[in-house]
Structures are given as C-alpha cells and as structure tokens.
C-alpha cells in the first residue's frame, strides 16, 4: 500500500469516527431511544410523533362517560324544614309537606383508625385446677399490631402508586391522624410480597406461554444509591416487574420470560433482546418513529419521512379495526412487503470502521448502533 493510499485510509477512518461522534451529539430523547434524563440542560423542543386525528379534545360521541348520578337510597338524609311563608310570613309549622326538592352530595365520612381489642377468655378447671385460655384467630399474633386493611393501604400507596415511604407515612398521618414508622411500611410490603408470590409466579408463567404479544422494556432506577434496572413484561391485562442490577442478558435470564418464550415479543432495538433466538421479535413503532426522525433531521433522507407517514397511516387504520373487534385489516389495506428500492440509494455502502477495541465494525450511512456480537456479524457480511 502506497503512502497516499495509507493516508487516504486513515482519513476515511477518521471521517467515520467523526460521523459517529456527531451522530451521538445529534441524538436526544426525541429522536432516539435515549432517556429524557440524558438530555441534561439541552432539552429538545417538544414535538409529538403522533399525527392529529382531527377530533375535538375530550370525550368522543358514543363514549359512555362517568357522570355523577343521584342514587335511589342515600346513606343519610338532611332535612331543611320550612317554618314560615316567605311572602306573608305566616307560620307553616302545622302545614303538611307538599314534596321535597332533592340534592345529593357525595363525600367521605370522617375516618379514624379503629382499635379492636381481642380477648381470649381464661377459665380454671374445677376438676383439676388447670388454667384454660381461648384461642385467638390466626391473624391476631401480637399484643399490639396493625390490621390487614390498614397495611394493605400502605402497600397500595407505596408499591402501586410509587409514593415514597416517608410520604406514605405522611399521608396516613394526615388522613387518619395516626403516625406510622417507615420501617413498618417496609415490613408490610415484604409481607405482602410473600403473600402475592403465587400470583406473581402464575403471571410469569402466563407471560411465557400466552399467544398474545408480550411487550418488554426496561428503565433505570436507583436502589440504595446504585443504578439498577426495572424490567417489565406485559400484555394488555397482566404486568410483571422486576428490578435487577444488570440491563441485558443476565437480567432477562433472572426475569425468566424472554429466554423461554417462543411467541411474539415487542421491544426496542437494544441488542440483548435479540439474543433470544427462539422468540418471534417485533420492534416498537414508537422507537421507529424517533429513529426515523433522526434520519430526517441529521441526513435529510426523504424515505424516512415517507415511512413515518406510512407507520402513522397503519396506526390510524388498525386502531378503529381493533375497537370494532377485527383481528385483521380488510384485504385492500394489507400488503405483504414494502420494496426496499426507495431506501437503498440513501445507504448504498457499508464500509469498515474500527471500534475502541480495534475490532472491525460495519458502518452504513443510517448509523444503527449494534452490540459487539451484531457488529461482528455485520462486518462479516461487509
């Protein structure tokens, strides 16, 4: 190789690396899979990826609604008697009522913690002199304890609504005028987890075998000041959540759903999902729209605009069909494939680039990030 050719190769390699760095700088939460927390102080201008349906805001025609309705049998009745005539001031105390104008107010009664004392009777046998004590119910195990209803509310606020422990204690104190310690709420959550274990195990097994598509995702969370990941697997009716210190394959193995699943899974393009070779994969269209937006903004590739419009049209066609109970679209709306010819001229070449560990990786103009295993496969194809 001549000195000129070697220099040209260095320039091409540097250009590729500069392009990678510029692409990273151009990406944000609005045009990639990066989380909003990574935007820092340079927040992108809000831009919805959804297209307006043209409908007015609020409930649509035919929506059942939830208007407050009067009940036939109210819990309490407050009477407002008529003592005198408003016109002539004559006494109406002895006049029979002609009817009532009714108005109903829905409200909560004053609530306070009620204390129930359980007493086990003690008797001495007249025959042998032995003391005999009655048996408490299985739920009453301590001299002083909280009941299941109150503990269930703590867990509901803290776990389901993700209210911090200290604020959960504050809510209980404000609503019921009864202080509770942080550790008591944590203990109640642990006890509830043990009781709910058979249910969560059944949900996990269902998500492995259900024919419905299972949606997978993960999000960062702090656990004892260290970064963990909350992994989620869900359908329209069931959700399984699990925190784990790792984001990729080790977490999926611990979750126990993706490695065993043979049906459809829907997720983003994070590389660890693709390591499950038995499952049928589909990628999330919300991420497609963001990545297509990146190609529009960064490279002005018009095919990305066209594909974005197509995805939106598909959504607008599928949504009413789903609401109508259809399992497939009408034949004129279905196409088996989309030709690649509009896309290829924009991304014709695949060239070599070297990663930080000096392994060759394939780089196209579209610049899709890939995990090391995928990079080596792409490099082999190049």
Percent of the chain whose predicted confidence (pLDDT) is above 90: 51
**How many domains does one find in the chain?**
1
| Per-residue confidence band for 322, with pLDDT thresholds at 50, 70 and 90 | confident
Angle between helix axes 165-176 and 148-155 (nearest 10 degrees) is: 130
- Asked if residue 19 has pLDDT above 70, the reply is yes
> Nearest 5°: phi and psi at 221?
-155, 150
Q: What are the residue ranges of helices labelled H in 139-181?
A: 148-155, 165-176
DSSP string for residues in 125-142: -TTT--EEEPPPPTT--S
- Asked if residue 105 has pLDDT above 90, the reply is yes
DSSP 144: S
Closest CA to 16 of 351, 378, 356: 351
**Integer Cα distance of 229 and 251 in angstroms:** 9
pLDDT at 51: 63
Task: Write down the mean pLDDT value for the chain.
Answer: 84
| Per-residue confidence band for 31, with pLDDT thresholds at 50, 70 and 90 | confident
In this structure, are residues 342 and 303 in contact, taking their beta carbons and an 8 Å threshold? yes
| Per-residue confidence band for 362, with pLDDT thresholds at 50, 70 and 90 | very low
> Per DSSP, what are the bridge partners of residue 231?
218, 242
- Tokens in use for 300? 């002005």
Domain coverage including residue 234: 210-261
Compute the Cα dihedral for 199, 205, 211, 216 and give only its sign: positive
Q: Answer with the residue of higher pLDDT: 264 or 23.
A: 264
**Integer Cα distance of 372 and 377 in angstroms:** 9
- Asked if residue 14 has pLDDT above 70, the reply is yes
- Asked if residue 347 has pLDDT above 70, the reply is no
Percent of the chain whose predicted confidence (pLDDT) is above 70: 83
**Integer Cα distance of 270 and 182 in angstroms:** 37
> Per DSSP, what are the bridge partners of residue 131?
124
In this structure, are residues 263 and 280 in contact, taking their beta carbons and an 8 Å threshold? yes
Q: Is residue 233 part of a domain?
A: yes
**Integer Cα distance of 376 and 232 in angstroms:** 29
Q: Is residue 70 part of a domain?
A: no
pLDDT at 366: 41
In this structure, are residues 254 and 242 in contact, taking their beta carbons and an 8 Å threshold? yes
* Tens of pLDDT, residues 138-179: 999 999 999 999 999 999 999 999 999 999 999 999 999 999
Q: Is residue 44 part of a domain?
A: no
Count CA atoms within 13 Å of residue 38 on its CB side: 14
Closest CA to 151 of 192, 207, 109: 192
In this structure, are residues 239 and 2 in contact, taking their beta carbons and an 8 Å threshold? no
Q: Is residue 235 part of a domain?
A: yes
Q: Is residue 244 part of a domain?
A: yes
| Per-residue confidence band for 223, with pLDDT thresholds at 50, 70 and 90 | confident
Which helix (H) or strand (E) element contains residue 4?
Answer: helix 3-26
- Asked if residue 206 has pLDDT above 60, the reply is yes
Q: Is residue 8 part of a domain?
A: no
First-last CA distance in the chain: 21
- Tokens in use for 321? 């069909």
| Per-residue confidence band for 326, with pLDDT thresholds at 50, 70 and 90 | confident
pTM tops 0.85:
no
Q: Which residues contact 262 (CB under 8 A, 6 or more apart)?
A: 278, 279, 280
Beta pairing class for 280-283 and 214-223? unpaired
Q: Is residue 222 part of a domain?
A: yes
Q: Which residues contact 135 (CB under 8 A, 6 or more apart)?
A: 120
Can you tell me the mean pLDDT for 257-265? 95
Q: Is residue 223 part of a domain?
A: yes
């Amino acid at each position: 190789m001549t000195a000129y050719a070697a220099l040209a190769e260095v320039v091409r390699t540097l250009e590729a690396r500069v392009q990678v760095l510029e692409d990273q700088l151009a990406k944000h939460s609005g045009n990639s899979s990066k989380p909003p927390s990574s935007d820092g102080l340079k927040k992108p201008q809000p831009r919805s990826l959804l297209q307006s349906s043209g409908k007015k805001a609020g409930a649509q025609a035919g929506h059942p609604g939830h208007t407050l309705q009067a009940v036939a049998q109210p819990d309490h009745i407050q009477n407002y008697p008529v003592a005198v005539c408003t016109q002539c001031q004559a006494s109406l105390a002895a006049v029979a009522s002609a009817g009532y104008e009714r108005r109903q107010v829905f409200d909560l009664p004053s609530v306070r913690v009620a204390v129930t004392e359980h007493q086990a009777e003690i008797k001495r046998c007249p025959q042998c002199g032995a003391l005999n004590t009655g048996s408490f119910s299985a739920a009453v195990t301590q001299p002083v304890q909280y009941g299941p209803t109150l503990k269930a509310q703590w867990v509901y606020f803290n776990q389901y609504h993700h209210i911090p422990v200290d604020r959960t204690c504050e809510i209980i104190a404000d609503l019921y005028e009864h202080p509770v310690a942080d550790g008591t709420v944590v203990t109640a959550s642990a006890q509830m987890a043990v009781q709910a274990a058979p249910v969560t195990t059944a949900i996990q097994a269902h998500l492995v075998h259900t024919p419905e598509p299972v949606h997978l995702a993960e999000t960062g969370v702090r656990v004892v000041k260290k970064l963990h990941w909350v992994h989620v697997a869900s359908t329209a009716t069931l959700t399984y959540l699990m925190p784990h210190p790792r984001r990729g394959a080790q977490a999926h193995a611990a979750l126990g759903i993706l490695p065993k699943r043979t049906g459809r899974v829907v997720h983003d393009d994070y590389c660890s999902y693709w390591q499950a070779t038995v499952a049928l994969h589909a990628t999330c269209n919300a991420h497609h729209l963001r990545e297509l937006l990146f190609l529009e903004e960064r490279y002005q590739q018009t095919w990305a605009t066209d594909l974005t419009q197509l995805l939106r049209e598909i959504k607008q066609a599928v949504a009413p069909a789903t609401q109508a109970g259809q399992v497939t679209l009408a034949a004129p709306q279905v196409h088996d494939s989309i030709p690649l010819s509009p896309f290829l001229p924009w991304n014709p070449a695949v060239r070599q680039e070297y990663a930080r560990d000096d392994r060759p990786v394939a780089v196209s103009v579209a610049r899709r990030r890939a995990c090391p295993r995928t990079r080596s496969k792409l490099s082999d194809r190049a």
